């Protein structure tokens, strides 16, 4: 459905049955069930009076505080920005540690030790189990237990509705334990033990750290992701043609810039190059 048609339909629904604020209240209870529900809420919000917008912000914040809203990019601060819908093409998949994938998709983390193609959008998929070569922090151990309770021990119930693209990238010239401790203390990569996690992983020829921007898509990508048990290193691959879909960002432009500025401050302290935004 075209955006204009969608808007007209919502206007008809709102005008015929409920007030806009009441529709938003109802949609907030269906975020996990309805495709594009966040966008519906955001677009309705943009058409409210300032007084009504203030009321909706309080409703959204209360729903977050009482955990009636979970696993959604929607917050009381980004209602207007979620209405910005982009269109992308997904044709590849990226698998990573369980805590990393879920934290990325929930906006709790943006950086990852990886070297993804700058031009691609990747469907995000958690590993069935995490590697025993690297050590989680205490926060990471607690978070892993939490997400396994929610989605199963192999995170088999985690939805395949998130994609990422490289937002910024840097090749480290000074990979040290102290550097990663400060990254952790800045709340940028808190789920791993600095020495036995990222420092150990980045002890390679070209240690690359990337900041990823994550989006929620309006379709289920699971049918396009397959397991190849014959390949140990890259067991997932994309099936069929690229998928065209609409996306809403998990974090706002301002939040992404804030994460990048914090990361660059730590990089500067340890005489690493700046993480440069990808055009």
Alpha-carbon dihedral 106, 133, 208, 242, rounded to 10 degrees: -60
How far is 238 from 240, CA to CA, in rounded Å?
7
Looking only at the bridges linking them, the beta strands covering 276-277 and 162-171 are antiparallel
Q: Across residues 162-189, what is the average pLDDT?
A: 97
Q: What's the pLDDT at 247?
A: 86
What phi, psi does 188 have (nearest 5°)? -100, -25
pLDDT digits (tens, 9 = 90+) for 36-69: 566 666 666 666 677 777 777 777 777 666 655 5
List the domain boundaries for the chain. 3-82, 86-277
Q: Which two tokens stand for residue 150?
A: 């929610």
pLDDT digits (tens, 9 = 90+) for 189-222: 999 999 999 999 999 778 999 999 999 898 899 9
Q: What's the pLDDT at 81?
A: 57
Q: What's the pLDDT at 4?
A: 47
Q: Which two tokens stand for residue 209?
A: 């750290």
How far is 216 from 247, CA to CA, in rounded Å?
5
Q: 3-state DSSP call for residue 244?
A: strand
């Amino acid at each position: 459905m075209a955006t204009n048609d969608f808007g007209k339909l919502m206007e008809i629904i709102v005008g015929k049955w409920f007030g806009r604020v009441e529709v938003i209240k109802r949609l907030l209870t269906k975020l996990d069930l309805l495709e594009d529900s966040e966008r519906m809420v955001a677009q309705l919000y943009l058409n409210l009076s300032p007084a009504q917008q203030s009321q909706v912000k309080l409703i959204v914040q209360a729903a977050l505080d009482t955990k009636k809203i979970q696993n959604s990019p929607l917050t009381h601060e980004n209602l207007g920005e979620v209405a910005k819908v982009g269109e992308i093409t997904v044709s590849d998949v990226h698998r990573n540690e369980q805590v990393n994938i879920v934290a990325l998709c929930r906006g709790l983390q943006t950086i990852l030790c990886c070297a993804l193609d700058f031009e691609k959008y990747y469907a995000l998929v958690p590993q069935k189990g995490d590697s025993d070569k690297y050590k989680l922090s205490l926060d990471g151990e607690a978070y892993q237990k939490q997400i396994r309770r929610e989605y199963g021990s192999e995170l088999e119930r985690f939805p395949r509705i998130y994609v990422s693209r490289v937002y910024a990238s840097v090749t480290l010239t000074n990979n040290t334990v102290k550097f990663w401790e400060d990254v952790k203390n800045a709340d940028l990569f808190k789920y791993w033990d600095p020495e036995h996690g990222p420092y150990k992983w980045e002890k390679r020829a070209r240690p690359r750290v990337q900041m990823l921007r994550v989006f929620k898509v309006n379709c289920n990508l699971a049918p396009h992701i397959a397991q190849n048990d014959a390949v140990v290193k890259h067991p997932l691959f994309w099936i069929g043609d690229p998928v065209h879909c609409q996306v809403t960002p998990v974090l706002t432009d301002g939040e992404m810039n804030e994460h990048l500025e914090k990361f660059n401050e730590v990089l500067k302290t340890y005489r690493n190059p700046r993480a440069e935004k990808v055009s």
